[in-house]
Amino acid sequence: MTRSTPAAEHPSDVARSTADAAPATADAAPATVAASPVVAWAPRVPMHATRRRHTLALLLLCCGLYLPVMGSYGMFDPWETIYTEVARQFMERDDWLSPYWHNGVGPEGWSETDFWSKPVGSFWLSGLFLKAAGLERPITLRGTGRSLDDPVTGPRHAPSGPDPGERLTNGGVEWVVRLPFFLCGLFGIFGVYLLGARLLGPRVGLLAGIVLASSPIYFFITRQAMTDMPYVGLLTGGIALLVLALFGATEPIPRRRWQLGRRTVELPAATSYWVFVAAFVALITLMLTAIVPALLPVPLPLQIGGRSPSAALVMLLYGLVALVAIWATRKTATKNEVYLWGFYLAVAASGLAKGLVGALQPGLIVLVYVLVTSEWGLLRQLRLGPGLLIAGTAFLPWWHAMALAHGTRFLHELIGTEQLRRLTIGEQSQAKGTWEYYLQQLGYGFFPWVALLPGALGRLLAPPTPGPRSARARVQLFCALWLVAVLLLFTMSITKYHHYLLPALPPAAILIAIYLDDLLAGRVRALGASVLAAGGLLALITIDLYSQPAHWVWLFTYLYEDGWQTGTPEGLLMLGYGAAFALPLTALLWRRLRLRGRRHDAAADRRPGWIHAQCLPAALRAALEPEGGAADLLSPAAGTAGAARRLAVQLARGNLVHRRAGGRRQEPGRRGDSQVAQRARRAPLLLHHRARALSGAAQHAADRARAQLAAHRRRLQPALRAGRSEDLGPKQARSALVGEGGRGGR
């Protein structure tokens, strides 16, 4: 293979670069990209560059918030210990295919050895980190010496001997087990940050990341070894990549030609593309490494030469399909397509952690958006062919291998009982609620940011402006429908748990970040009403949390109302937390109202009545000066040959009378004549200094205007000396200032 060379530009590359450079605003419809499969048929948002200081600040915030005490508390939730033991059994039994629970008794009391209630993704993560840290020996309950294999009846270790529980007193095992779940949560946080920063502005992205990272339920569950964070974190990052691909402006990537003997191959040369390829290859390699050894003794239900081949041969076919999927992406020409490939890979990995609810949820969100907006052309941009090939290759091998090894019994339990039955019939009696269940949990789990959510959603209910929806509005609508679709999906589900709320938090964080950005920029109308509504909602939730602080503990524990009411945070802590959020909100309201008052006064001073009253006398006096006063006045505003004449016309269109800020008529002598005279004296001096930097064309236009004004100065002198401008009507003043020859110049 010889040295690579940049691919020469061809017409499609030129057309693509031209199409990307064409739109100058966020609402402009870009031209169609000739050779790119991502067709820009609707308005797209120009991509902003992420700021390095924002990225570093968000990373330091998350690490400082999550990591320091992540291993300082034990695995008190029963499922956290069970999931960790399932991960350890991979190493104990040297079988990374079949999740296994050695205890032999299920959570409802039935005999159980296989653990098929959840897919394998989160167990693989815990097992890999345990193995990398050298924690392959039996894990014991902290300080008891009893093994998790049988924590109730198992024998205690001799007091004289080493207690394996001592390994847990420093929090090492908890920290190691929870670390991959923190990384998944971090992936989700940076997903919303990237979406906001690139499409809606750097400040929106930073605010979205901070809001999501500081949400109570997201914070609590990210610091637990539970299956929910791999599902939610990977799903959030994947949907963020999808939004960037569909709504962001097309970004071409460089391509290079590689000489392979006599054959020339042209491949993408962007780092982002090869990061996707590396992640895809790593996932397939690790998956096949875990699956193939366990399938070697499993025969296929067919005979070849009198013998049944091993089921592991089927898994090798997935490796070949993975190579085909990579080859199908070799013509990637834009970064939008790279985002699409990353979306399909992230969603497939999310499905490995939670099942069909993670794999199919993005399709539901896109379908809802298309039904609401009728943007059916959006489906053509999904590149379903290569995309489903990538997702299927990453999602199906483990499911197929388990079906080969255990038959339909595995599919009936994991898909029938744990997925479909929970959604339609209900699988556990304590996990039920009414239609407002997740609205209540949203108040507790998204506190205190939830106080701003009604204002953020209310702005989307305003009547749309005439014409097509802007690109920024499309992104906001997608995030709102993302939130609504997730809430409706789990509200319709018969089985309800607190942590099912997690997928609704990322779109809510983005909407609140947009709202906060508009608040800081002063773009929110009815600010007082919005802040009062947010304060009222904040007060209601704060009082509820003060009366029962266990609401926060129940967010990340399995046995909800049956326990955990002792040892909960003090109610005063909830009051202080709510007050800490309310004070900046009040300060922002006060600051916005003061600035709005100042802007109102400044806007009143800039009204045409003030301009006519204060500037026109100075203009007329300057016009009567023998030494080029008109040029000093008119030339700063004259950027072209006709600008000076247009300025004179605009000044002459008023009634040439003094007006208050409210627009009412006032006699010249009844207002502060000293202020008028002072401003009239300052105006020619200021304009004289600005006139020194004018171009030749502007000077020429000013000279022409001065000549026209000088021709009529004798007529204007009596009216000026009398101080009464009512003698001249608007048409007479325009004729006097501009003259009949000025019309032809326009």
Spatial distance between the Cα atoms of 450 and 342, rounded to a whole number of angstroms: 30
Check whether the bond before 11 is cis (ω within 30° of 0). no
Say if CB 548 and CB 440 are below 8 A apart.
no
**Nearest one of 312, 307, 289 to 404, comparing CA atoms:** 312
Spatial distance between the Cα atoms of 545 and 571, rounded to a whole number of angstroms: 7
364-399 pLDDT tens trace:
999 999 999 988 888 999 999 999 999 999 999 999
pLDDT: which is higher, 548 or 42: 548
Confidence of residue 715 (pLDDT cuts 50, 70, 90): low
137-190 pLDDT tens trace:
655 544 444 444 444 444 444 343 334 444 444 457 888 999 999 999 999 999
- Evaluate if pTM is beyond 0.75: no
**Nearest one of 58, 128, 57, 64 to 90, comparing CA atoms:** 128
Say if CB 265 and CB 327 are below 8 A apart.
no
Q: Please give the pLDDT value at position 581.
A: 79
- Region of poorest pLDDT, from 60-74, 235-249, 334-348: 60-74
Spatial CB neighbours of 459, under 8 Å, sequence gap ≥ 6: 515, 518, 524
Task: Identify which of 144-158, 443-457, 586-600 has the greatest average pLDDT.
Answer: 443-457
Q: Calculate the CA 119 to chain-centre distance.
A: 28
Spatial CB neighbours of 392, under 8 Å, sequence gap ≥ 6: 321, 348
Edge-to-edge strands of the sheet including 5-6?
A: 5-6, 255-260, 263-268
Q: Please give the pLDDT value at position 212.
A: 96
Report CA-CA distances (Å) from 412 to 407, 416, 421, 490.
9, 5, 10, 22
Say if CB 348 and CB 394 are below 8 A apart.
yes
Q: Please give the pLDDT value at position 717.
A: 64
Q: Please give the pLDDT value at position 37.
A: 40
Q: Please give the pLDDT value at position 148.
A: 45
**Nearest one of 386, 398, 371, 391 to 333, comparing CA atoms:** 386
Spatial distance between the Cα atoms of 469 and 473, rounded to a whole number of angstroms: 6
Q: Please give the pLDDT value at position 654.
A: 42
**Nearest one of 6, 417, 11, 69 to 220, comparing CA atoms:** 69
Query: Is 12 a residue whose pLDDT tops 50?
Result: no
Q: Please give the pLDDT value at position 387.
A: 94
Query: Is 78 a residue whose pLDDT tops 90?
Result: no
Query: Is 8 a residue whose pLDDT tops 70?
Result: no
Phi, psi of 173 (to 5 degrees): -65, -45
Query: Is 351 a residue whose pLDDT tops 60?
Result: yes
Q: Please give the pLDDT value at position 565.
A: 60
Q: Please give the pLDDT value at position 525.
A: 77
Query: Is 9 a residue whose pLDDT tops 50?
Result: no
Average model confidence (pLDDT) across the chain: 74
Q: Please give the pLDDT value at position 6.
A: 46
Confidence of residue 422 (pLDDT cuts 50, 70, 90): confident
Token code pair at residue 293:
């050894």
Q: Please give the pLDDT value at position 694.
A: 44
115-130 pLDDT tens trace:
888 999 999 999 999 9
Share of the chain above pLDDT 70, in %: 64
Say if CB 514 and CB 456 are below 8 A apart.
yes
615-654 pLDDT tens trace:
544 444 444 444 444 444 444 433 443 444 444 444 444 4
Say if CB 630 and CB 702 are below 8 A apart.
yes
Say if CB 688 and CB 631 are below 8 A apart.
no
690-705 pLDDT tens trace:
444 444 555 566 666 6
pLDDT: which is higher, 195 or 629: 195
Please compute the mean of the pLDDT values over residues 85-113 and round it to a whole number. Answer: 75
pLDDT: which is higher, 283 or 728: 283
Q: Calculate the CA 26 to chain-centre distance.
A: 17
Report CA-CA distances (Å) from 203 to 51, 244, 256, 406, 518.
9, 17, 35, 51, 10
Confidence of residue 113 (pLDDT cuts 50, 70, 90): confident
Phi, psi of 6 (to 5 degrees): -60, 140
Written as one string, the DSSP assignment of 606-674 is TSHHHHHHHHHHHHHHHHH-SSSHHHHHHGGG-SSTTHHHHHHHHHHTS-SS-B-TT--B--GGGS-HH
Say if CB 507 and CB 479 are below 8 A apart.
yes
**Nearest one of 172, 104, 180 to 142, comparing CA atoms:** 172
Q: Please give the pLDDT value at position 459.
A: 82
Query: Is 195 a residue whose pLDDT tops 70?
Result: yes
C-beta neighbour count of 138 within 10 angstroms: 14
Spatial distance between the Cα atoms of 516 and 212, rounded to a whole number of angstroms: 14
Confidence of residue 545 (pLDDT cuts 50, 70, 90): confident
Please compute the mean of the pLDDT values over residues 271-292 and round it to a whole number. Answer: 95
Angle at 744 (CA atoms; ends 742, 746), nearest 5 degrees: 80
Spatial distance between the Cα atoms of 235 and 355, rounded to a whole number of angstroms: 12
- Region of poorest pLDDT, from 4-18, 426-440, 663-677: 4-18
Please compute the mean of the pLDDT values over residues 680-698 and round it to a whole number. Answer: 47
Report CA-CA distances (Å) from 326 to 106, 265, 330.
42, 14, 7
Q: Please give the pLDDT value at position 7.
A: 45
Query: Is 359 a residue whose pLDDT tops 80?
Result: yes
Q: Please give the pLDDT value at position 171.
A: 56
Angle of helix 52-66 relative to helix 172-199, nearest 10 degrees? 150
Say if CB 192 and CB 208 are below 8 A apart.
yes
Q: Please give the pLDDT value at position 104.
A: 54
Angle of helix 471-492 relative to helix 228-247, nearest 10 degrees? 150
Please compute the mean of the pLDDT values over residues 718-741 and round it to a whole number. Answer: 49
396-407 pLDDT tens trace:
999 999 999 998
